Amino acid sequence: MIPTHARPRPARRAPVALAAVAALLFAEGCTEPAPAVSVGEGRVRFAQADVLGLSDARRAELGDLAAFGLAVADGRVDEVMAPLLDARLQERRIAYAAAERMLDAAGVDDDQLRARYSLSPEYELTVRHLIVLSERWRPEAERAAARAKAEAALERIQAGEPFAEVAAQVSEEPGAEGRQGLLEPGREGAWVKEFWNAAVALDVGQISPVVETRYGFHVLRLENRAVVPFAEARGRVAYTTAGEMGDVEARAEAWVDSLAASRGGDRGAARTAALSVADSLGVVLPPTERAAAERELRDLAARWAAAFGFAEGMSAEQVRERALAAFRSSRQGATLARGELGVIAESLRRLYPVTIARSEGAG
């Protein structure tokens, strides 16, 4: 046995400076790793653990989903949907041009269109309304409560309370209190079908029963009805008249197919050529066509946002969490919405760039 005093003592280590420790930890990877997917210049970051086993294509889908979440959170949905809106309006202009070509081939002139219009003119309606918001996908109990609230408001109006005051108090439409429910004048196509049908059926000053639309439950009063001048209505009259002669949409599609065939199958060039013809024919879309397209796309974006759980004003971290949950969800609504989101992927990436790190062994 070696006496205690004779045992060799271990060599004493020199003290390590804190800076050296920090450098050592940094070198050993204790800093935050680079994200596997970065969205919006790093506003939303997904770690490798979030996307383990996903191909780059699937990682890109997750990035697009988060980009849409940022657009909703930032209130920039209209910007994201703008290219899709432009494409739809171009399709409508081509269809209106096809209608003009059909009328020209049939020898239908403006005198005939004007005479036809005089028998069944279009109207511009001024409406005051109130709405209790409750989309059709809401729980039945919530829908029933919303309808009851609208019916109670109608009873107040029928009992003699001024419509404008009741609308200011009850209506859940943004800005209703200041406008007292008064809407900008609208023409057919400017409002959803159920709302328009209820409004056009009223006499001036008459009040509707409770009307259900995709947005909730309304009560309407018709304030004014004016005939739209033929010059402003001509495009729709021409389109409707052509529609009685054949399928305008099918004719438009066949026309673009023919133009594409003469251009080596280039449908982009074919659409450009068709739009040039529309210009030469003086085709101008009625304002209601644009309003209808805008409403349709806003409703589509709202459905996507609801399916994914995104809302305006969310933080980037909330967007990240909701995007992951929606990406992994097997619910039908989320699945359908994910499949549809690709139509705006290019627009999303322009506003919120998606950067994908190289995936290791992803399948």
DSSP readout, 244-291?
TTS-HHHHHHHHHHHHHHTTTT-HHHHHHHHHHHHHHTT----HHHHH
132 and 210 assigned to the same domain: yes
* CA angle, residues 129, 206, 200, in degrees to nearest 5: 75
68 and 199 assigned to the same domain: no
Q: Which residue has the tokens 């919303």?
A: 146
Question: What is the number of domains present in the chain?
Answer: 3
Cα separation, 353 vs 115, whole angstroms: 55
343 and 283 assigned to the same domain: no
Looking at the domain assignment, is residue 15 inside a domain? no
Looking at the domain assignment, is residue 10 inside a domain? no
165 and 203 assigned to the same domain: yes
128 and 113 assigned to the same domain: no
pLDDT at 5: 40
pTM as predicted? 0.74
Q: Which two tokens stand for residue 141?
A: 């109990």
136 and 168 assigned to the same domain: yes
Looking at the domain assignment, is residue 207 inside a domain? yes
Looking at the domain assignment, is residue 300 inside a domain? no
222 and 274 assigned to the same domain: no
Among 227, 244, 261, the domain boundary falls at: 227
266 and 321 assigned to the same domain: no
List per-residue pLDDT tens for the chain, 363 residues long. 334 444 444 444 444 443 343 333 334 444 557 799 999 999 999 999 999 999 999 999 999 999 999 999 999 999 999 999 999 999 999 999 999 999 999 999 999 999 999 999 999 999 999 999 998 888 899 999 999 999 999 999 999 999 999 999 999 988 777 889 999 999 988 899 999 999 999 999 999 999 999 999 999 999 999 999 999 999 999 999 999 999 999 999 999 999 999 999 999 999 999 999 999 999 999 888 888 899 899 999 999 999 999 999 999 999 999 999 999 999 998 999 999 999 999 999 999 999 998 755 444
User: What is the DSSP code (8-state) at residue 344?
Assistant: G
- Domain hosting 268: range is 80-118+230-290
**Residue 237, Cβ neighbours under 10 Å: how many?**
22
150 and 278 assigned to the same domain: no
CATH number assigned to the domain comprising residue 166: 3.10.50.40
176, 180, 202 from 166: Cα distances, Å: 10, 8, 19
Looking at the domain assignment, is residue 361 inside a domain? no
Looking at the domain assignment, is residue 71 inside a domain? yes
pLDDT at 32: 57
136 and 207 assigned to the same domain: yes
pLDDT at 359: 55
163 and 106 assigned to the same domain: no
18, 154, 303, 315, 331 from 338: Cα distances, Å: 49, 40, 11, 21, 11
pLDDT at 292: 86
Looking at the domain assignment, is residue 302 inside a domain? no
207 — phi, psi (to 5°)? Answer: -110, 140
Provide the 3-class DSSP secondary structure of residue 38. strand
Distance of CA 213 to the CA centre of its chain: 18
pLDDT at 19: 39
From the list 143, 195, 152, the residue with the least C-alpha distance to 171 is 152
Helix crossing, 287-308 with 332-340: angle to 10°? 130
114 and 256 assigned to the same domain: yes
Cα separation, 255 vs 261, whole angstroms: 10
Looking at the domain assignment, is residue 297 inside a domain? no
| Alpha helices in 281-331, H assignment, sequence order | 287-308, 316-328
Among 205, 227, 249, the domain boundary falls at: 227
